[in-house]
Amino acid sequence: MLSSLFSLDNKTALVTGGNTGIGFGIARGLAEAGARVAISGRDRKKNAEALAALGAVREGCVARVFDLADTAGIEAFYEKVSREMSGLDILVNNAGITVRGKTEELTLGDWEGVMRVNLTAPFVLSQCYARERIGNKTGGSIVLIGSLMCEATRPTVAAYTASKGGIRQLVKQLATDWAPHGIRVNGVGPGYIRTDMTAPLVENEEFNGWVLKRTPLGRWGVPEDLAPAAVFLASEAAAFITGQMLYVDGGWLATF
């Protein structure tokens, strides 16, 4: 049956930044599709709250505190989570940060910090995942979370835009390199989504009006809008899809 292709029963997944916002929306969606989900985040309290909500959907989910800025510690972190979950079938690289300000005033430290979390950390985590799956001779699915800034840009977000442009190309490269091993790599590109990170934009009357006018569906997205796309790409329903970016943006990129 077609519906069985979308099932994630007996699958395990890791969602970085899964304790709030888009990450939690995706983690919950994966759990609702049947997967046991591990989430990571820097805030222990938010992790606990998210885990309680996930536990009401699917038993066996876990939450771990980790800061992806610690790129040197990613391999050990991944190995620990994978052991705890008895292997990981799905990896969702969601965690991200941004720094807003005039590009000419952006510090090198801020630039490198955004790149480290948004681009380097997903690359290293994806390496860890691929090495494990290749070693076990099992395929799998990686989903990287991009942005409208994979395709466009706006003032004051130079580092974020550069990092998300890198994610778009990383999806293509990893998909090409790991297809022979049965590992599919795709991306989801959120439009303007209401989260803690975008709260200052939502509260800006002028910017909020621009988003509503520019988006054909006439609203901001919510984290739950991203879950079906991630579940689809992680499932067997997307068995012949790799190297693609799926934009969930209310039509934003279709207009000018």
- Residue 154: give its domain's CATH number: 3.40.50.720
pLDDT for 196 beyond 90: no
pLDDT (mean) for 1-28: 94
pLDDT of the residue at 179: 98
For residue 187, give the nearest of 253, 110, 246, 103 by alpha carbon: 246
Residues 109 and 205 in one domain: no
Residues 38 and 139 in one domain: yes
Residues 142 and 28 in one domain: yes
Residue 134 DSSP code: H
Q: Tell me whether residue 77 is in a domain.
A: yes
pLDDT for 75 beyond 90: yes
pLDDT for 1 beyond 70: no
Residues 6 and 131 in one domain: yes
**Coil, helix or strand for 33?**
coil
Q: Tell me whether residue 211 is in a domain.
A: yes
Q: Tell me whether residue 252 is in a domain.
A: no
| Residue-wise pLDDT tens digits, 218-245 | 999 999 999 999 999 999 999 999 999 9
Residues 180 and 203 in one domain: no
User: Would you say 73 and 66 are in contact if contact means Cβ atoms under 8 Å apart?
Assistant: yes
Range of the domain at 215: 194-221
Residues 90 and 210 in one domain: no
Residue 192 annotated to the active site:
no
Q: Model's pTM, two decimal places?
A: 0.96
74-84 and 121-136 helices, crossing angle to 10°: 50
Q: Tell me whether residue 215 is in a domain.
A: yes
Cα(54)–Cα(99) distance, rounded to whole angstroms?
Answer: 30
Instruction: Count the domains in the chain.
Output: 2
Residues 24 and 130 in one domain: yes
Residues 200 and 186 in one domain: no
Residues 130 and 230 in one domain: yes
* Catalytic residue, candidates 78, 129, 160, 247: 160
Q: Tell me whether residue 256 is in a domain.
A: no
Residues 68 and 96 in one domain: yes
Mean pLDDT of the chain: 97
Q: Tell me whether residue 161 is in a domain.
A: yes
pLDDT (mean) for 90-108: 96
Q: Tell me whether residue 208 is in a domain.
A: yes
Cα(232)–Cα(209) distance, rounded to whole angstroms?
Answer: 31
pLDDT of the residue at 3: 75
| Residue-wise pLDDT tens digits, 17-51 | 999 999 999 999 999 999 999 999 999 999 999 99
Residues 160 and 90 in one domain: yes
Q: Tell me whether residue 255 is in a domain.
A: no
Residues 199 and 136 in one domain: no
